[in-house]
Amino acid sequence: ELLPIIDNFDRAKANLKADGAAEEAIVEYYNGCFAKIDALLQDFDLEAVPTLGAEFDYNVHEAIQQTPSDEYPEDTVCQEYQKGYTIQGKLIRPAVVAVSLGAM
């Protein structure tokens, strides 16, 4: 039940931009809140599934796309659409990813 909330925090963090002192204070406050949430989740041994640059593993990745890539070799995760998570080594949600076809 917490994963959609974590997803929203991650999306918000990725889009935060500070254009002035007031906005920088908001971003700093947000980052502090997110750090506290992250520390709490680490206490439960919640870990993100490795994605970008990792070899595709059907045990922890859900591929929804294959794409040519000059940057990543074949069968390597080249884009993450949704983070996957494990708790104490047990998969609770696979990472939704795109997998490289290699250079074409």
Q: What pLDDT digit, counting tens, does each position of 75-101 carry?
A: 999 999 999 999 999 999 999 999 999
C-alpha closest to that of 59 among 88, 91, 81: 91
pLDDT score of 79 = 96
Low-confidence ranges of the chain (pLDDT < 50): none
